[in-house]
Chain A
Amino acid sequence: MAAQSGPGFRNSPSQTAQEPAQLILEDIHLRFGGLNALSGVSFGVKKGSIQAIIGPNGAGKTCILNCICRFYQPYRGSITFEGQDISHIPTHRVAELGIARSFQNIELFRGMTVMDNIKLGHHVHMHGGFISGGIYLGKAKREETRVRKEIEERIIDLLEIEAIRKKVVGTLPYGLQKRVELARALAMKPKILLLDEPMAGMNLEETEDMARFILDVNDEWGVTIVLIEHDMGVVMDISDDVVVLDFGTKIAQGSPAEVSRNPQVVEAYLGSEAAAHSKLGL
């Protein structure tokens, strides 16, 4: 627990008692065989904020998202979302609570069109079953049309993907696939959006577009964002709060400016001070 007392430590569950965070991770321990992937990670995510998680490769950033999504079962610790303990609910129920995510390696349904992929994001908000859907009169037809209209006018319009909405996802370039994955996550009407390296492998223009979309979603829809990202420029620019992980422990937390000045972060994450300054864009 010594790691938690670093100078950047802030916003811990105990310190934000007056205003409980929307998502609280408390003392998460995750182990694969003999490997400790996460050892005692705690932090809270404030409603409506953009929370970044950074750290070197293998620090356990994606493991945290996988714990929240219930792919991994931590052997100790609890995850609380809006006052409800979610550490033991089944994976498919997480979506119903309003937690959406995108993946580091794109996890779209490649054989389907962009439209169908986004509609799938709406799955938990629809009610059609295998009988009404198979008959496709009345209820199912109205629901499909309503959802189509909503997606077209809210999500496709926002993310500027009108031109590709009938294309098969597998045929699209990487940058657009990332955008479609964001669209699918948005169709889930999330309260909190977990983005695992949304800018990875993108050129400058695509990165800027993606950053703009994330800010739009956060700003206009009031969706809380948890962002894992290696592009330090983006992290420093858009996030409200940064958690720094190294070898499965949290080594710092604070505003981008605080974190980038933290000597422990500079040492552990970025190596020498000179390299750190160039990487952090200072």
Chain B
Amino acid sequence: MPCGLFFSSYEKDDAIFQTTWLKAWMALLFVILLTFPLYADQANALLGLNLTNMLNLIFIYIVGAHGLNLLTGYTGQISLGHGAFMGVGAYTAGILANHGWPFYLALPAAGLMAAAVGMVFGLPSLRLRGLYLAIATMAAQFILDYAMRNWESLTGGSAGLIVPSAGLQSLGLDFTFDSDRSFYYLALLFAVLATLYLKNLTRTRTGRAFVAVRDRYLAAEVIGVNLFKYRIMSFGISSFMVGIAGGLWAFYITIISDEHFTMWLSVQYLAMIIVGGLGHVLGGIFGAIFFVLLPELLRIPAEALTDVYPNIFGIFASLREMVFGLIVILFLIFEPDGLAARWHTVRAYWKLWPFSY
């Protein structure tokens, strides 16, 4: 039995999944994810939840959370405008789809539009850091929010914008991603692509420069990292990803209104990556899972107690925000590195089990 990991080439040492066991577990996870729709109905009936819908939301939020994690976790620049940038992506995709663009063109366009807007609002990051940048990006949130609500000729205002489902008709295929089950594969694909992209980016030159800008920007400058370029680039890539998430959201929900893309969503995104783990690729995944599961988990005790206290459901519903805030505070105190760090600790423990010392 080997007493450690040994590699005979730099390529093997730099691989993401280094051991046969890890590869096997990942393959198993993928088989489960790919075959999930086949037994989704039974699972949903068993648990009393709509798991397909939850997974779709998780996948969409993973794309967005990865985007914000790149900006905040890796480059160290806080943004309170990502809810609005997601909205920019959603409206771009929605409006283009209404003009007859197929989804596979509308989605990248949504990303690019969000990236352009994000880079413009990221310009203050050259001078501002920390709290001041947070306020500057919050301004972006309010400006864009206002535009989405009041530019009625473009966005449909508070009445909302109806978006056709994503379909492959323009490719000659009669297929539409109009159900939870069919959309599942589309969302899964984007979540996987976003995860791979983030992982690869952060282990190559650009990603290292982002972390350098975060940790010590003076030293970063001395080693030749152009601070301005990388700060803006980080805003661009991050907004691109959250814009894609917005586009997916538009094609999934098929009716978008400004109500979804408020400050609350920006804060939720931040909370997601804090709870999941800032600066970890797993952080966005865990965070997205956590925040889609949380309301469902809060519903279970509420429903169980409805017979005894008929009013409790309403109370629990309003408690949601409080519980949300409480959880973020508890994470900041007890596990500031998030679920991803906890996951690494657990894995390290089992690696040495039962001889943990």
Q: Which residues of chain A have a CB within 8 Å of any CB of chain B?
A: 69, 71, 90-96, 100-101, 103, 107-112, 116, 119-121, 123-124, 126-130, 132-136, 140-141, 143-145, 148-149, 152, 184, 188
Q: Please name the residue on chain B nearest to A112 by beta carbon.
A: B211
Q: Is the CB of A112 within 8 A of B215?
A: yes
Residues in A whose Cβ lies below 8 Å from that of B225:
92, 120, 123
Q: Is the CB of A128 within 8 A of B206?
A: yes
**How many Å lie between the Cα of A129 and that of B229 in the bound state?**
12
Residues in B whose Cβ lies below 8 Å from that of A144:
14, 203-205
Q: State whether A109 and B219 are in contact (beta carbons under 8 Å apart), knowing that A134-B197, A136-B204 are contacts in the complex.
A: yes
| A140: contacting residue among B204, B219, B220, CB under 8 A | B204
Q: State whether A136 and B223 are in contact (beta carbons under 8 Å apart), knowing that A120-B209, A128-B205, A148-B14 are contacts in the complex.
A: no
Q: How many A-B residue pairs have CB under 8 A?
A: 107
Residues in A whose Cβ lies below 8 Å from that of B233:
130
**How many Å lie between the Cα of A149 and that of B10 in the bound state?**
7
Interface of A is mostly: helix
- Binary contact track B122-150/A, C-beta < 8 Å → 1, others 0: 00000000000000000000000000000
**How many Å lie between the Cα of A107 and that of B223 in the bound state?**
11
Q: How far is the CB of B284 from chain A (nearest CB, A)?
A: 15
Q: Please name the residue on chain A nearest to B201 by beta carbon.
A: A134
Interface of B is mostly: helix
Q: Is the CB of B201 within 8 A of A91?
A: no
Q: How far is the CB of A83 from chain B (nearest CB, A)?
A: 21
Q: Is the CB of A120 within 8 A of B212?
A: yes
Answer yes or no: B67 CB below 8 A from chain A CBs. Answer: no
**How many Å lie between the Cα of A111 and that of B212 in the bound state?**
10
Q: How far is the CB of B223 from chain A (nearest CB, A)?
A: 5
Q: Is the CB of A107 within 8 A of B208?
A: no
Residues in A whose Cβ lies below 8 Å from that of B200:
133-136, 140
**How many Å lie between the Cα of A176 and that of B54 in the bound state?**
48
Residues in B whose Cβ lies below 8 Å from that of A69:
222
Q: Is the CB of A71 within 8 A of B218?
A: yes
| B224: contacting residue among A92, A132, A143, A152, CB under 8 A | A92
Residue among B197, B207, B211, B224 having the largest count of chain A Cβ atoms under 10 Å:
B224
Answer yes or no: B303 CB below 8 A from chain A CBs. Answer: no
Residues in B whose Cβ lies below 8 Å from that of A93:
224
**How many Å lie between the Cα of A71 and that of B10 in the bound state?**
37
Q: Please name the residue on chain B nearest to A128 by beta carbon.
A: B205
Q: Is the CB of B10 within 8 A of A92?
A: no
Answer yes or no: B226 CB below 8 A from chain A CBs. Answer: yes
Q: Is the CB of A101 within 8 A of B204?
A: no
Q: Is the CB of B204 within 8 A of A109?
A: no
Beyond the given A130-B201, A134-B198, please list 5 additional residue pairs across the A-B interface where CB-CB is below 8 A: A92-B225, A95-B224, A116-B208, A124-B224, A130-B233
**How many Å lie between the Cα of A92 and that of B237 in the bound state?**
22
Answer yes or no: B321 CB below 8 A from chain A CBs. Answer: no
A-B pairs, 9 with minimum CB distance: A95-B224, A133-B204, A136-B200, A124-B224, A107-B219, A109-B215, A134-B197, A128-B205, A134-B201
**How many Å lie between the Cα of A7 and that of B113 in the bound state?**
67
Residues in B whose Cβ lies below 8 Å from that of A91:
221-222
